[in-house]
Amino acid sequence: MKSVLESLKLFTSGKPENQPIVFLHGFPFDHSMWDEQLEYFKNDYYCITYDIRGLGKSPVGDGQFTIESFVDDLFAIIDELNLSSPIICGLSMGGYIALRAAERAQERLKALVFCDSKPEIDNNEGRLKRCAGIKQINEEGAVNYVKNFIPNCFSKKFIVNEAVKYNYILEKAALSSPAGVKGSLLAMLSRTDTTGFLKEIKIPTLVICGELDSFSTPEQMKATADKIPGAKFNVIPEAGHISPVENAKDFNAALSKFLTRL
């Protein structure tokens, strides 16, 4: 079997002997969502991120993905890099992967950081929206779908005040492989519900939410945090769904405070 390190596009910062943190990006973005975290935490941690299969520069293959196969990739990376008790930090789709990874084997992880995400599955309306997205991509490619999806991920303020950064992210995501975007949509559509697992979480957990996140609102994420024994909860001011990009300063401060207390 081909090594995941040879196939998936991986990025690291910091020294391998330091405590590892694996960062998992959201949909339909790539590893660069975590650029400011890899820079900030590199002195004290070994930071690892990668393009989730089918997105960014990682291969699409047959485009048939599930959250389970994404978790398989995550554990393969942990094994191949020989990471001992990594901290897993996932945002939105990356959060679905992180939480399911914890459900499968939390004893292998030191801590969990669950950002702008939810444990619940899509409701029917959400599922039908994803099906409509797949149909649209089949008919016309991924560009319009991605360009309609992404504005909802960011706060209006970020889109206006950080227009250059925002447009760069938008144009890059619009280049995503149509098969990769569809594969991710199907993976999210078919994910399992991890709500029941929340009360079983035994590892230190931080729940982070952008103040203006409309996908997973602060109220919803606070309710999620309240179900996790001992979980910490942080709202990132003036940030939408993509909080580590929109307000990296406060995101990094919240993460740093959690990490130093582990």
Structure-token match 């309306």, residue found: 125
* Nearest-approach distance from CB 153 to ligand MLT, in angstroms: 6
Partners of residue 46 on adjacent β-strands: 20
Contact yes or no for 92/116 (Cβ under 8 A): yes
Please tell me the number of Cα atoms within 13 Å of 70 on its side-chain side: 37
Using the minimum distance from each CB to ligand MLT, give the nearer residue, 75 or 215.
215
Using the minimum distance from each CB to ligand MLT, give the nearer residue, 19 or 92.
92
* Nearest-approach distance from CB 215 to ligand MLT, in angstroms: 5
Binding pattern for the stretch 77-116 against ligand MLT, x by CB under 6 A and - elsewhere = ---------------xx-----------------------
Using the minimum distance from each CB to ligand MLT, give the nearer residue, 27 or 166.
27
**Torsion sign (Cα): 7, 63, 37, 234:** negative
Exposed, middle or buried by CB within 10 Å (0-12, 13-18, 19+), for 80?
A: middle
Contact yes or no for 237/211 (Cβ under 8 A): yes
Ranges assigned E (strand) in the chain: 10-13, 19-24, 45-50, 87-91, 111-115, 205-210, 232-236
* Nearest-approach distance from CB 199 to ligand MLT, in angstroms: 23
215 binds ligand MLT (CB under 6 A): yes
Give the contacts of 225 (CB within 8 A, at least 6 positions apart): 205, 207, 231, 232, 233
Binding pattern for the stretch 175-204 against ligand MLT, x by CB under 6 A and - elsewhere = -------------x----------------
Residue 139 — φ and ψ, nearest 5°? Answer: -80, -35
Of 26, 24, 18, the closest CA to residue 74 belongs to 24
Using the minimum distance from each CB to ligand MLT, give the nearer residue, 14 or 119.
119
* Nearest-approach distance from CB 24 to ligand MLT, in angstroms: 9
* Nearest-approach distance from CB 17 to ligand MLT, in angstroms: 32
* Nearest-approach distance from CB 119 to ligand MLT, in angstroms: 12
Using the minimum distance from each CB to ligand MLT, give the nearer residue, 18 or 121.
121
Calpha distance 164→142 (Å, rounded): 22
Contact set for ligand MLT, span 121-180 (CB under 6 A): 153
* Nearest-approach distance from CB 79 to ligand MLT, in angstroms: 25
Contact set for ligand MLT, span 218-257 (CB under 6 A): 241
User: Which residues make up the interface to ligand MLT (CB under 6 A)?
Assistant: 26-27, 92-93, 153, 188, 215, 241
